[in-house]
Structure 1
Amino acid sequence: MFQTFDSAGDPAVGKPRVALLRQWLEANGLDGFIVPRADEHQGEYVADRSARLKWLTGFSGSAGVAIVLRDRAFVFVDGRYTLQVRSEVDLDIFSIESLVDNPPAVWLKDNLGKGARIGFDPWLHTISEIKALQASADKTGAVLVPLDKNPIDIIWEDQPDAPVAPVELHPIGFAGELAKDKLARLAAAIAKDGATHAVLTDPSSIAWAFNIR
Structure 2
Amino acid sequence: MIALVTGANKGIGLETATQLAGLGHKVYLGARDIEKGNAAKSKINNSENIEVIELDVSKEDSIQKAFERIKLENGRLDILVNNAAINYDTWQDALSADLNNVRETLETNLFGAWKMIQTFLPLMQQNNYGRIVNVSSGSGAITNMTVGTPGYSISKASLNILTINFAHIASNYDILINSVCPGWVKTDMGGAGANRSVSEGAETIIWAALLQKGAASGKFFRDKKEIPF
Relative to the length of structure 1, the TM-score reads 0.30
Relative to the length of structure 2, the TM-score reads 0.28
